[in-house]
Amino acid sequence: MRVGDLIKLPNGCRKHWELPTGIALLIAKLPRNDSLEYDWKVLVDGRHIELGRQIENDPEVAHMEPCWYSELKESEE
Query: Structural domain of residue 56, as residue ranges?
Result: 6-76
What is the predicted pLDDT for the residue at 71? Answer: 54
Q: Please tell me the distance from the alpha carbon of residue 19 to that of residue 77, in angstroms, as a whole number.
A: 35
pLDDT of 36 reads: 81
Task: Confirm whether 67 is domain-assigned.
Answer: yes
pLDDT, tens only, 12-55: 889 999 999 989 999 999 999 988 889 999 999 999 999 988 88
Is 57 inside a domain boundary? yes
The per-residue pLDDT for 61 is: 75
Indicate the number of domains in the chain.
1
Is residue 48 situated within a structural domain?
A: yes
Position 5 pLDDT exceeds 90: no
Tell whether 1 is covered by a domain.
no
Q: What is the pTM of this model?
A: 0.74
pLDDT beyond 60 at 73:
no
- Answer whether residue 66 is part of any domain: yes
**Domain membership flag for residue 41:** yes
